[in-house]
């Protein structure tokens, strides 16, 4: 996986000290494909990509803050004196977050996988009645959901999938904010318990079934298919998504895999060079897209 290399410049450090009072030695935290995160004592400074507008980040942060009001694991950004959550320094959106100690949970451990599912159910319930208004810029995962073939994944053109997605969303009208990228790398565990949900950059308003299917893949065997145990635990915990038949689960996972394909090639066009391990993973995910075809 390729992570962002955006530096924590002196200008950003000075702005963070002035805005949030955050100082100290910095430590680059692991992860972040688009935003780079740096720990400074008990805080984290996130440096977003220059192409992301502050308004987009503010919209996403509003969802994080709403979730955090009732969900202790939801990590939300700290406000500025003006009540916003983003400052722009050198063209980059900068935000400040509380630091949470922990490590990525292991989805191969059934107890942690099921804990991830129960947490997702609680997250969905916490967001079910929140109406943040239109997202300033559509999320990457939204492309293709209305049945229009996504132009950035033409090599995985599938008219049957396009028609199915349009019909599914007509039959499943429930919409509410979703995390948008709910996988183990955006959560933290400590002493066997999941203690944090991080990185809200991809949040959007959509059908909760979308996120359930995608998360079941990410918390299951991500080269073999979604985890039925994850889905069962989610429903037992009272998540908002409707129960999915086999075809629905497969097609929603295939939508996620097609967006992954598009993101992979977007990274290549931006100059990212993938090593053989990443290339093999990409090929396996494309193969899964075809194998899950109903």
Instruction: Name the token pair of 117.
Output: 């599912």
pLDDT at residue 32 greater than cutoff 90: no
DSSP lists the bridge partners of residue 45 as 38, 96
Beta carbons of 75 and 46 less than 8 angstroms apart:
no
Q: List pLDDT tens digits, range 161-211.
A: 999 999 999 999 999 999 999 999 999 999 999 999 999 999 999 999 999
- Give burial (CB, 10 Å; 0-12/13-18/19+) of 120: buried
Residues in the chain: 294
Average pLDDT for residues 98-115, to the nearest whole number? 97
Q: How confident is the model at residue 4 (pLDDT cuts 50, 70, 90)?
A: confident
Task: Write down the pLDDT at residue 290.
Answer: 98
Task: Write down the pLDDT at residue 222.
Answer: 84
Mean predicted lDDT score pLDDT of the chain: 96
Task: Write down the pLDDT at residue 23.
Answer: 95
Q: How confident is the model at residue 6 (pLDDT cuts 50, 70, 90)?
A: very high
Task: Write down the pLDDT at residue 116.
Answer: 98
Task: Write down the pLDDT at residue 270.
Answer: 87
Q: How confident is the model at residue 5 (pLDDT cuts 50, 70, 90)?
A: confident
Average pLDDT for residues 260-278, to the nearest whole number? 92
Separation between Cα atoms, residue 216 and residue 35, nearest integer Å: 25
Task: Write down the pLDDT at residue 1.
Answer: 58
Phi/psi for 231 (5° steps) reads -65, -45
- Global pTM? 0.96
Task: Write down the pLDDT at residue 33.
Answer: 86
């Amino acid at each position: 996986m390729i992570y962002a290399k955006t530096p924590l410049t002196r200008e950003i450090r000075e702005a963070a000290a002035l805005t949030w009072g955050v100082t100290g030695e910095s430590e680059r935290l692991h992860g972040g494909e688009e935003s780079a995160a740096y720990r400074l004592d008990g805080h984290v400074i996130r440096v977003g990509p220059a192409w992301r507008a502050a308004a987009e980040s503010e919209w996403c942060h509003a969802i994080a803050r709403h979730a955090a009001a009732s969900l202790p694991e939801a990590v939300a950004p700290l406000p500025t004196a003006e009540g916003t959550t983003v400052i722009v320094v050198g063209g980059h959106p900068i935000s400040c977050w509380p630091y949470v100690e922990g490590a990525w949970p292991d989805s191969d451990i059934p107890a942690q996988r099921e804990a991830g599912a129960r947490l997702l159910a609680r997250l969905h319930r916490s967001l079910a009645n929140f109406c943040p208004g239109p997202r300033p810029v559509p999320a990457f995962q939204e492309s293709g959901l209305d049945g229009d073939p996504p132009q950035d994944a033409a090599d995985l053109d599938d008219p049957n999938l396009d028609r199915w997605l349009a019909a599914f969303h007509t039959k499943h009208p429930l919409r509410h904010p979703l995390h948008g990228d709910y996988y183990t790398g955006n959560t933290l565990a400590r002493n066997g318990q999941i203690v944090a949900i991080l990185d809200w950059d991809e949040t959007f308003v959509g059908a909760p079934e979308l996120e359930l299917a995608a998360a079941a893949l990410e918390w299951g065997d991500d080269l073999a298919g979604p985890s039925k145990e994850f889905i069962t635990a989610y429903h037992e915990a009272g998540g908002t998504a409707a129960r999915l038949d086999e075809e629905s689960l497969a097609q929603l996972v295939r939508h996620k895999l097609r967006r992954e394909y598009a993101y992979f090639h977007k990274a290549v066009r931006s100059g990212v060079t993938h090593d053989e391990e990443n290339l093999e993973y990409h090929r396996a995910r494309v193969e899964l897209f075809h194998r899950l075809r109903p």
